[in-house]
Amino acid sequence: MSFKFTPEELKSIEELRSKVDDDRALVMPVLWMVQRKQGFIGNDDILYLERELGIRAIFFAEAIGYFAMFNDAKKGKYELKFCKTITCKLRGSDELIKFCENLLGIKMGETSSDGLFSLGESECLGYCEKAPCMLCGLEQHAELNEEKLESLIQKIRQENASR
């Protein structure tokens, strides 16, 4: 199933378009729309956006390549993105990542076989005073340690198993 805008979304894009003087300003908000809905933005989606909005495909591709929060391929339902900057590293994020990899049975950048988790890195989350930290979806988790991480993963697994 490929991505399509709803009439309301298209209307809101047109509203945005009237406020900016360069159509390229729409690239980021539009990419967010797609990402929120389906979790990633594939090449087919970019071609759809190009046709629908008249903004060149390469501009979307450049933005996806530059910004770490945009995915160009399908990811797990819950994306765990560890902050990769120096403060978190000094507070032991590398060990935590290894622990997490063992726990989920996947490596960095991979998605678990049940499609629930994927592991990734993020640029600085601006949470250095509570390092190490990570994103789970769009939610920040700070002052992480092995127990916290394990209980979070278990909680998510239980929630999804009971559904």
Partner 1 sequence: MVEIIVDSEKFQVDENGNLITELKKHGIEIPHFCYHEALGVSGNCRMCLIEVVGQKRPQIACDTPISAGMEIKINSELTRKVQKGLLEMEFINHPLDCPTCDQAGECSLQEYYMKFDKEGSRVAVADKVKKHKREDFGSNVIHDEERCVLCRRCVRFTQICSKTYELGIGGRGEHSKIMLFNDQKINNPYAGNIVDICPVGAMTSADFRFKRRVWHLKTTEAICQGCERGCALSVDSDKPKYENEQIYRFRARFDESVNGHFICDFGRYSYKFEQLIEPKNDNALLNLKDELKANLSKFDVLVTSSLSTEEMSAAIKFAKSFGANLYGYDDFRDESFCDSEGLKLRYPNKTANKKGLEHLQTSTDLTHIKDRVIVFHLGDKFELNLKNPTFIMPRKQADIICASAYHRDGHTINCDGILRFSKAVLSPVAPSIEQIIAYLMDEKEAK
Q: Which residues pair with 81 in a beta bridge?
A: 120, 135
Distance CA 154, CA 25 (A): 40
Q: Which is nearer to partner 1, 62 or 114 (CB)?
A: 62
If binding is defined by CB under 8 A, does position 86 make contact with partner 1?
Answer: no
Contact (CB, 8 A) for 72 and 118: no
Number of residues that bind partner 1 (CB under 8 A): 12
If binding is defined by CB under 8 A, does position 57 make contact with partner 1?
Answer: yes
Using CB under 8 A, which of the segments 51-59, 83-91, 92-100, 114-122 binds partner 1? 51-59
If binding is defined by CB under 8 A, does position 58 make contact with partner 1?
Answer: yes
We find the least distance from the C-beta atom of residue 86 to partner 1, in angstroms, to be 15
Q: In what order do the strands lie in the sheet with 78-83?
A: 117-122, 78-83, 134-136, 139-141
* 88 annotated to a ligand binding site: yes
Using CB under 8 A, which of the segments 40-48, 104-112, 132-140, 142-150 binds partner 1? 40-48
* 124 annotated to a ligand binding site: yes
Q: Please give the distance of CA 31 from its chain centroid, rounded to a whole number.
A: 11
What three-state secondary structure class fits 46?
A: helix
Distance CA 80, CA 78 (A): 6
If binding is defined by CB under 8 A, does position 142 make contact with partner 1?
Answer: no
Residue set of the binding site for [2Fe-2S] cluster: 83, 88, 124, 128
